[in-house]
Amino acid sequence: MQNLSVNSRIVKEVYFSQEDGQLRIRFHSGDERRFTGVPEAEVIAMCESESPGNYYIARIRRRFQPLAA
């Protein structure tokens, strides 16, 4: 998994695997969420958005298949 740069008050770290579309998001709260089937373009858009936390809520959280942490 590749660690991607993100500047957010909510999201602390973003890891993404191009091979299988797995996304791992760590939050400043200590929580972690994992998803599968996420397109690379969607991950890049989240990381580059003005508010990665809001992007996650609006475009990732309920749209992609969650994995057990």
The pLDDT score that the predictor gives to residue 68 is: 81
Spans of the chain, pLDDT less than 50: none
Whether residue 24 contacts residue 34, with contact meaning beta carbons closer than 8 Å, is answered with yes
Q: Which residues contact 46 (CB under 8 A, 6 or more apart)?
A: 6, 14, 52, 55, 56, 59, 60
pTM (predicted TM-score): 0.90
pLDDT tens digit string along 28-39? 999 999 999 999
**63: three-class secondary structure by DSSP:** coil
